[in-house]
Structures are given as structure tokens and as C-alpha cells.
């Protein structure tokens, strides 16, 4: 075996083993292509937070057809906190870049895009949370979306500043 190839394999192994991100929750909703993503088709995720000293990230992985009619998808995201407080947010998910080209990976049948909903999240309290994501476009049914996957990742312990 070539010594350079050996060291390259070691470096690749170290790179992948040093990743701090760990998927702690993943939930997917399949959209029936013959029907489309309707207002009533929401993705609800329940999870518990037991460590408020960690940083988390929320990501959405979305598949759509290459002939999808929109550059973005408006969503309504509801968050239910452990204390019963409900927060709602309108969020536009960009599917194209500034030149109009699809972001993510596309082939002739499907485009796959990963969208960061929030990075470096610190949950304020321990307990049960619920996040619901629904399409919020001007049409009841959104054709061209294949499936949607939500991920909650543990990105590591937060650094506390000492002042």
C-alpha cells in the first residue's frame, strides 16, 4: 500500500470521527405525489430536553421535483414549550440560490435540499417540547414535494464565558 494513501485514509477517518454533531431525533413525513402537501399534512415532532448546557441544531431535509413551481416554500412552525407557552413563526424555506438554480443535489427525478432551521440552539428549560411544521403557501395543496424529514442534532456542549 502506498504510504500517501495510508495517511490519506487516516486523515479521512480522523475527520469523520471528530464530528461533534449527533442526530438525536429524526422524523419523516411522506407526501403522496398524486395528492401533494396539503395544509392539513403537518409534521409534528415531540422530544424531551434533559441537558440545557448543550447546543442543538434543527434541520429540515426536503425532496422536491426538478420542475417544482416555486423558488421557496412558506411554512408555519409552531413550538410548544414545557411551560405551555406556544410560539408560532412564519418561515420561508429557500429552494434556489440568488441566480435561480436549485440548491442541494438534483438529478432528473428529484432534488434534495438540507435547510438549517436553527443552529446553536440553547433550550431554556428541561422538559417536553413539540414542534409542528406545516406548509403555508397560497394554495391548499402544494404539488411536487416528495417528503420532508426533520432532524434534531446535538452539536456539543456550549462554551461558558468567564467574565
Would residue 95 be called left, alpha or beta, if left means φ above 0 and alpha means ψ between -120 and 50 degrees? alpha
Nearest 5°: CA angle at 5, between 3 and 10? Answer: 95
Q: For the domain bounded by 17-157, which CATH number is listed? A: 2.60.120
Q: pTM for the full model?
A: 0.78
Separation of alpha carbons 35 and 143, rounded Å = 7
pLDDT more than 70, % of the chain = 85
The count of other CB atoms within 10 Å of the CB of residue 151 is 19
Quickly state the pLDDT bin for 3 (edges 50, 70, 90). low
* Domain residue extents for the chain: 17-157
- Per residue in 90-144, pLDDT (tens digit) is 999 999 999 999 999 999 999 999 999 999 999 999 999 999 999 999 988 899 9
Separation of alpha carbons 112 and 91, rounded Å = 19
Amino acid at each position: 500500500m502506498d504510504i500517501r494513501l495510508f495517511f490519506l485514509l487516516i486523515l479521512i477517518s480522523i475527520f469523520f470521527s471528530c464530528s461533534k454533531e449527533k442526530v438525536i431525533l429524526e422524523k419523516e413525513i411522506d407526501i403522496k405525489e398524486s395528492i401533494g402537501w396539503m395544509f392539513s399534512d403537518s409534521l409534528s415532532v415531540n422530544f424531551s430536553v434533559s441537558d440545557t448546557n448543550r447546543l442543538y441544531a434543527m434541520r429540515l431535509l426536503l425532496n422536491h421535483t426538478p420542475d417544482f413551481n416555486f423558488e421557496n416554500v412558506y411554512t408555519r412552525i409552531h413550538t410548544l414549550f414545557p411551560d405551555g407557552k406556544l410560539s408560532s413563526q412564519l418561515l420561508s424555506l429557500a429552494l434556489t440560490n440568488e441566480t435561480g438554480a436549485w440548491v442541494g443535489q438534483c438529478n432528473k427525478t428529484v432534488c434534495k435540499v438540507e435547510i438549517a432551521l436553527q443552529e446553536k440552539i440553547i433550550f431554556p428549560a428541561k422538559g417536553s417540547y413539540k414542534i409542528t411544521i406545516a406548509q403555508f403557501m397560497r394554495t391548499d395543496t402544494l404539488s411536487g414535494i416528495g417528503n420532508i424529514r426533520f432532524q434534531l442534532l446535538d452539536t456539543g456542549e456550549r462554551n461558558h464565558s468567564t467574565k
